[in-house]
Amino acid sequence: MVHAPSQAVVLVTADWAGPARPAPTVLRELSRRWGSTVATLIIDDAHEDVLDRLEVDVLPTWMGFERGEVPDDGVAGTDVHATGSALLVVEELRGLGMTGEDLVLAGPWRLVHRRRGALPKHVVASEFGPRSGRADA
């Protein structure tokens, strides 16, 4: 039986956005380090409706999701960096896998962390890596 990760990191980016250009390389390297513990995907040059649904207004945007519904207390995430809805839940995550293949991660997935803009690799690793290595675990 294949174990599906309960954690996912999504990078929303575009080739035309200068500050976003190094971000996919950072995610690919971290994805190799994390192995199968964290699902990773890239949403590249998304349509406006996708950007609106994910509440993305800056490229790149890094999003951390956990599998599951909104908890009973109604608070999906505790991220001080998130803006917009803290109760963002999506039925599936759809984008490109780390080798460029189309990837769909069935959910539901709830947003638990978001950062906007170019980030150094060590920041992405500490804030979005496997829960055991994160300060908010």
In whole angstroms, give the CA distance from residue 26 to residue 3.
25
The two tokens of residue 21 are 């250009």
Instruction: Kindly state the helix (H) or strand (E) to which residue 99 belongs, with its residue range.
Output: none
Beta-carbon contacts of residue 129 (< 8 Å; ≥ 6 apart): 30, 34, 38
Measured between alpha carbons, how far apart are the two ends of the chain, in Å?
26
pLDDT per position as a tens digit, 11-46: 999 999 998 999 999 999 999 999 999 999 999 999
pLDDT given at position 25: 96
As its CATH architecture, domain 7-133 has 3-Layer(aba) Sandwich (3.40)
In whole angstroms, give the CA distance from residue 41 to residue 63.
10
Domain ranges of the chain: 7-133
pLDDT per position as a tens digit, 39-50: 999 999 999 999
In whole angstroms, give the CA distance from residue 19 to residue 33.
23
Fill in the amino acid letter for 41. Answer: L
- Flag residues of the chain having pLDDT under 50: 1, 76-84, 132-137
